[in-house]
Amino acid sequence: MSPQEKARSDAYFEGQQWLHLWQFLLGAALSLVLLVTGLSAWMRDLAERLTRWRPLQTALYWAQYLIFTTLVSFPLAAYRGFIREHQYGLANQTFGSWLSDQTKGFAVGLILGGVFVTVLYGVVRRLRRSWWIWGALVSWLFVIFTLLISPVFIQPIFNKYTRLTDEPIRSSILRLARANGIKASEIYQFNASKQSKRISANVSGFLGTERIALNDNLLKRASLPEIEAVMGHEMGHYVLNQLYKALPFFGIFLLIGFAALRWGFDRSQTRWGSKWRVRGIGDVAGLPLAVLIVSTYLFLLTPLVNTYTRTMESEADLFGLNAARQPDGMAKVTLKLAEYRKLEPGPFEEWILYDHPSGRARIFSAMRWKAENLALCPGTSSTGSAASAAPQ
């Protein structure tokens, strides 16, 4: 990367971290406004006037809550997701197209979030003493459900998925998949270029729904060795069963979070509950308080979660190097990712902020693998032939 490109990447990444902080602070402020002004209690009262059925009351409150928080936070969302992305040359969308995606996301959140909140509050109201244990379990199951259905049912709402017809690339990916025991007969591409210039891919699904997909930016911008390196990494996540291995970790993480929620909610309820007109943990008017406590918990434990996910990403990197045997492709595609990920952070910065290994760490790992496994690397002629077969 040139000094100018590196400086631009650093500025973008560092700015994103500040925006994460501001987004957290804005969310905390909105929770306090809803509580202190009594607006949350007013929304609960309105839902109770509209229906006597408790589950529907919860769903109606959720709709009001989501509308309020979405509208108030819209300027920051527009700056972060549209204006700033265009300033750094990373976005392709018009404002109308971006707003359409935001509307779809709002609809998904309204439906899935409504179901989750309604079920969660139903459990809390029935199990007064052990609600935090069962609440953690419900949340854990909901996370699993969302992760499993997202690639097949949610992501196609935002992007069009079609079968990959480029035979050299398709054959190469299927060969790599079969060599690693992945049961997939088709490769899909999706039109992420309508939104941004970022490259990505994924291998997902279970019980016959296995799907290998890569976005059109990867097809347009990367050579075949780079595509193979990316797909080797993504297959690593799948073959190593990292999603399933992560479930116990995040289950414990959620359980501790709900224990913190119980402790924080009880003390806040005792001190300010009467002023906020929150009747107790089973009162949906206390949702902003619950959101404030949980979001603070998540924010404070960001380094722990990042370290865990960064470790899994490192394992997938090594799997991809051994499976695809494309260290140069891995290094070159890392430079493309460095357009929006700071390439060389300090050790403390990487520990706190990075959920993937830094670009420098990935390139070093790839080049070390190459130096120690020269006999396994494709020759110059074969690499050049593969690159010439890739789309320009």
What is the spatial distance between Cα 309 and Cα 81, in angstroms, rounded to a whole number? 24
Over residues 207-222, the pLDDT tens digits come to 556 689 999 999 999 9
**Which DSSP letter does residue 91 get?**
B
User: Is residue 39 in some structural domain?
Assistant: yes
Q: Which domain holds residue 99?
A: 16-155+243-298
Q: Which residues of the chain have pLDDT under 70?
A: 205-210, 378-392
What is the spatial distance between Cα 199 and Cα 213, in angstroms, rounded to a whole number? 12
pLDDT of residue 128: 84
User: Is residue 338 in some structural domain?
Assistant: no
User: Is residue 323 in some structural domain?
Assistant: no
Over residues 52-69, the pLDDT tens digits come to 999 999 999 999 999 999
What is the spatial distance between Cα 148 and Cα 146, in angstroms, rounded to a whole number? 5
What would the DSSP string read from start to end of 269-329?
Answer: HHHHHHHHT---TT-GGGHHHHHHHHHHHHHHTHHHHHHHHHHHHHHHHHHHHHHH--HHH
Q: Are 292 and 32 in contact (CB under 8 A)?
A: yes
Would you tell me the crossing angle of helices 224-239 and 167-179 to the nearest 10 degrees? 30
pLDDT of residue 144: 87
Reported pTM: 0.89
Q: Are 122 and 55 in contact (CB under 8 A)?
A: yes
What is the spatial distance between Cα 384 and Cα 379, in angstroms, rounded to a whole number? 9
User: Is residue 286 in some structural domain?
Assistant: yes
What is the spatial distance between Cα 25 and Cα 19, in angstroms, rounded to a whole number? 10
pLDDT of residue 374: 87
What is the spatial distance between Cα 95 and Cα 101, in angstroms, rounded to a whole number? 10
User: Is residue 23 in some structural domain?
Assistant: yes
Name the domain count of the chain. 1
pLDDT of residue 211: 80
**301: burial class by Cβ within 10 Å (0-12, 13-18, 19+)?**
middle
User: Is residue 172 in some structural domain?
Assistant: no
Q: Is 212 helix (H, G, I), strand (E, B) or coil?
A: strand
User: Is residue 381 in some structural domain?
Assistant: no
User: Is residue 82 in some structural domain?
Assistant: yes
Whole-angstrom CA distances from 52 to 40, 46, 47, 56, 327 are 18, 11, 9, 8, 63
pLDDT of residue 183: 82
Tracing tokens 């069962």 back to the chain, one arrives at: 134
